[in-house]
Structures are given as structure tokens and as C-alpha cells.
Amino acid sequence: MEPAEVAARERVTSVLREEADDISDRWVQLQLAQPSLNGEVSEAELGEEADALVGALLSGLDRGLPVERVVSSHEEIHRAVSEFSLRRARRGVSPTATSLAVLSLKEALLKAVQRRSRDGEDLFHSAVLINRLLDSAGALSFEIFVEGREEIIRRQSQQLLEVSTPVVRLWRQVLAVPLIGTLDTARTQVVMENVLQAIQEHEALVAIIDITGVPTVDTAVAQHLMHTVNAVRLMGADCIISGIRPPIAQTIAQLGIDLSTIMTRATLADALGEAVKLTDAVPSTSAPLAQR
């Protein structure tokens, strides 16, 4: 490490140690002035984050790690930046605003260094060190933010799938799954899991899958439905597909899809009537009935 860099590091470390509160306060005010933050994070929370990150930077520089590795290798800094980014991801703050918030710490830190020295060369080397340090922190914050948002999106997508595939108990030992929208592999898996779980919980004998709200039925959708029906039968229950509208019936016939082994009805009311007959007439130990 060159002498100028060593001196700059000592200078920045000294400033962080002796003016930590002023740097944190300055950084909070700079963030509050950013319109992109939109009040999503309170001033108190910003203060806590600032204290944590400034303290972590001081700890990292004290360890003697190369500047390029301080952010990536020092656990305290990595944790502080990660928590900073994830909190903003959960609040819906943009990734750009999050990275800019980290980078705005440069201004607060450089201002504190400038109060200590007026020498142009000293300020230059200090600015270079601060840039290298906080550019790494900004890059890490962006990476963590994106990962956090992707996880949130995956979790929300799973929750939407579960909400969009409710299993309703219509009658004694009769369940219904009203489907709306496109039926793909992921959604079919959720339907199957929910139906099988509900059959076990309610000791159901009949499950009605209503596709009135499914816009089109192609070969893939038909295959998904047949897999679900087979799984329901393995649980010892019958499965009825309702909502077979004329256009869907015509499409199925044109595609040559064989649904002869599946009980189908035109409306949910027809399917419920059939289900009531099945539960009244057939013992629960009987095998599932074939297409009538």
C-alpha cells in the first residue's frame, strides 16, 4: 500500500471515529432531501441505519483489509448494507434510489474530511479511497436489493396462486375449486395440492373443478386437468369437471382430446346436483364412478 493511500486511510478512519454522529446526521438529511425516497422510511429508521453503517465502515477500516475487500469480506458491513437494502426492497423503494442513498454517504463523509484538511492532494487521495469503499457498498446494496425483490416477488406469486385456487366446501363431503384465468403447470400443481389436502381434511367423496372462468382449454390444459382428476381418484374420491361451455366442448372435440373417463357437466349447478346424488347413493369405500 502506498504511503499516500495509508495516510488517506488513517485520515478517513480518524474522521469516522471522531465525527460519526455528525456524518450520520448529515447522511440522514441528504437522504430525506431525495424525492425518490417518498417518505417510505422514517427519519428514526434512517438514523438507525446510518449509525449502523458508519460504525461498520469504521470497524472494517480498522481491520486492515484492502479497501476493495472491506465491504465484501467484513461481516458487519455486509450485514449493515444487506439490512439497509432489504428494508427498502420491502418498502417498495426503487433499486436506483437505494443505491443512490448509499452513495450519498460519500458527500457526508467527504464533507467531514474536508473540515479536517484543506490540502488538495490529501483531499484527492481521501476522495479516491472513499469512492472505492462506497462504490463497493453501492454495488452490494443493488445486488442485495434485487435478490430481495426477487424473493418477495416469488413469495407473492405463490400467495397469489394459492388465493386464486380456493377450495370451497359446498356440501357434505362435496368440495369445489372455481378456476379463473389461465391454467398452467404451476397453477395446476397448486390446485392439486389444495384439493388433495382438502379431501383429506373434510373426508370428501366428490371434488368439483369448475372451469367456467378458464378462457380456453387446449391439449396442455386438458392434460393438467386429467392429472388432477387421477390424483383425486387415488385419494378415493370422484372428480367432476364443470363449466364445459359450447365453445370449449367444440375445441376439445376438434383437438381430439379424450375426456371420456372424466365426469363432466355444463354448469356448476349440474355438477353439484350430481355430486349430491353420488354422496347419497355411493358408500365412501366405493371406487370412483366412470363417466356417465
List pLDDT tens digits, range 131-145. 888 888 888 888 888
Nearest one of 78, 191, 187, 194 to 140, comparing CA atoms: 78
Which residues is 241 bridged to in the sheet? 209, 264
pLDDT of 287 strictly over 80? no
Q: What is the pLDDT of residues 238-256, one digit of tens each?
A: 999 998 888 888 888 888 8
Helix (H, G, I), strand (E, B) or coil at 203: coil
Residue 289's pLDDT is 42
- Which of 46-50, 79-83, 88-92, 109-113 has the lowest average pLDDT? 88-92
Q: Residues 187-201: what's their mean pLDDT?
A: 86
In this structure, what is the dihedral angle of CA atoms 128, 131, 132, 135, given to the nearest 10 degrees?
A: -160
Query: What is the overall mean pLDDT for the chain?
Result: 82
**Bridge pairing between strands 238-242 and 263-265:** parallel
Which residues is 171 bridged to in the sheet? 174
Residue located via cell numbers 479497501: 67
**What is the rounded distance in angstroms from the CA atom of residue 193 to the CA atom of residue 69?**
46
Residue 206's pLDDT is 93
- Which of 61-65, 217-221, 235-239, 284-288 has the lowest average pLDDT? 284-288
Residue 290's pLDDT is 42
**What is the rounded distance in angstroms from the CA atom of residue 120 to the CA atom of residue 198?**
73
Please indicate whether residue 277 or residue 258 has the higher confidence score (pLDDT). 277
Q: How confident is the model at residue 208 (pLDDT cuts 50, 70, 90)?
A: very high
Please indicate whether residue 67 or residue 195 has the higher confidence score (pLDDT). 195
Residue type, 245: R
Residue 284's pLDDT is 46
Q: Residues 217-236: what's their mean pLDDT?
A: 85
* CA dist 275 → 14, 165, 233, 259, 281 (Å): 78, 20, 14, 18, 10
Q: Which three cell numbers stand for residue 122?
A: 490529501
In this structure, what is the dihedral angle of CA atoms 58, 59, 61, 62, given to the nearest 10 degrees?
A: 110
Residue 240's pLDDT is 92
pLDDT of 163 strictly over 70? no
**What is the rounded distance in angstroms from the CA atom of residue 22 to the CA atom of residue 28?**
10
Residue 72's pLDDT is 78
* CA dist 198 → 81, 202, 227, 238, 272 (Å): 43, 6, 17, 13, 17
Residue 286's pLDDT is 43
3-state helix, strand, coil in the chain (%, to 5): 70, 10, 25
146, burial (CB in 10 Å: exposed 0-12, middle 13-18, buried 19+)? middle
